[in-house]
Amino acid sequence: MCVRGTDFIVEVDEDGNTAVFLSEGVLNVKSKYNNTSIILRPGEKVCVPKDTAMQPQKTMSLTEKKIFSEETRENLLLQTILHWVKLVSKLN
């Protein structure tokens, strides 16, 4: 996999539902549920439920756009690392 010039965040909740937020570039998001795909452009998001069809893309809210600020991205990375550390420690 190679991603260049594209800035996006993928969130997966505990139930396996996925949300994709795109800040820069173009991204093709494909659902495993029914093989449909959506092309996201900067400032758009899409929700991909685990067991149902993908929802239409939408414009990100101002709050969601703040996710892409440098400070918020660093905090998100730290939270992700801590989450994985907790998961790995449960396996041991």
Q: What percent of the chain shows pLDDT beyond 90?
A: 0
Per-residue b or e along 10-37, where b marks 16 or more CB atoms closer than 10 Å to that residue's CB? eeeeeeeebbbbbbeeebebebeeeeee
Q: Provide the whole-model pTM.
A: 0.63
Which pLDDT score, from 0 to 100, does residue 30 have? Answer: 86
In a domain, 53, yes or no: yes
Please count the structural domains in the chain. Answer: 1
In a domain, 30, yes or no: yes
Task: Report residue 1's pLDDT band, with 50, 70 and 90 as the boundaries.
Answer: very low
Asked if pLDDT for residue 57 goes beyond 50, the answer is yes
In a domain, 41, yes or no: yes
Domain that holds residue 74: 7-91
pLDDT tens across 41-51, in order? 888 989 888 88
Which pLDDT score, from 0 to 100, does residue 8 have? Answer: 85
In a domain, 75, yes or no: yes
Which pLDDT score, from 0 to 100, does residue 69 have? Answer: 64
Q: What percent of the chain shows pLDDT beyond 70?
A: 84
pLDDT tens across 15-28, in order? 988 888 888 888 88
In a domain, 77, yes or no: yes
